[in-house]
Amino acid sequence: MISRLAASLSRIGAVALFLLQVLAACGPALLRPRLIVQQVYNTGARSLVIIMLCGLFVGMVLGLQGYDLLARFGSESALGVAATLGLLKELGPVVTALLFAGRAGTALTSEIGLMRATDQLTAMQMMAVDPLQRVIAPRFLGGIIAMPLLAAVFNIIGIYGAQLVGVSLMGVDQGTFWSQMQGAVALHDVNEGIVKSAAFGVICSLLAVYEGYNAEPTAAGVGLATTRTVVASSVMTLVVDYMLTAAFLKV
């Protein structure tokens, strides 16, 4: 028990030290924006379809459940507000982060892990190229940029999904849906979502590149590292989500 506690504590420390190394490598990496743009495409654009699809269905479910709940109090007209706040503040950032960990995080880990297993990272070091600057930092930065953008797309599609179900299917008045939303949702609600998704972007990207970079250089090691990326990213996302929510509500 104590040894397992010590092991997880040392892992947190290792990730923190790795973060410092990556941050130091980010400076030189920023001078080569093409590499970062390429990674935004890799992690962001390639996750777009799954994000949009999931956003649509999460929004539609919100429309159904929200309508059912609100109808019990006779306040169906607030459906727009409920769905939008739920998406912007919680579901958008969190579900996007979970999907990101599953789609982009695993891809990053296995890509970097395979580069480790096939000596590509060592080869770079032998060519006097620092893999942290050339490989890790661009992927880390790309993930951080992509996550809030993906969350924004998720929110937009989700709100339309809620509208689709609430207005077209359940019969909420369209004007009420949008005007109530416009009146009740403030800028700080949007900001809360952006801050959250940025934080999740750092967590998911960092864990993905960390696990890949430190994967055991075998097929089994890469597989294990990929699993650890999903598990660790998901757990950390939900834990940090609670902390951020509490901080925003000043509990």
Binding site for other proteins (CB under 8 A): 114-115, 118-120, 122-129, 134
* Least gap, CB of 116 to other proteins (angstroms): 11
Residue closer to other proteins by CB (options 125, 179) is 125
Of 176, 156, 47, 180, the C-alpha closest to 91 is: 156
Nearest-CA neighbor of 142 among 18, 21, 22? 22
**Cβ closer to other proteins: 124 or 164?**
124
Q: What is d(CA 16, CA 175) in angstroms, rounded to the nearest whole number? A: 49
Cβ proximity to other proteins, 84 vs 110, nearer residue: 110
Contact between residue 101 and residue 208 where contact means Cβ atoms under 8 Å apart? yes
**DSSP assignment of 82-104:** HHHHIIIIIIHHHHHHHHHIIII
Distance CA 200, CA 198 (A): 5
Nearest alpha-carbon partner for 139 in 215, 47, 205: 205
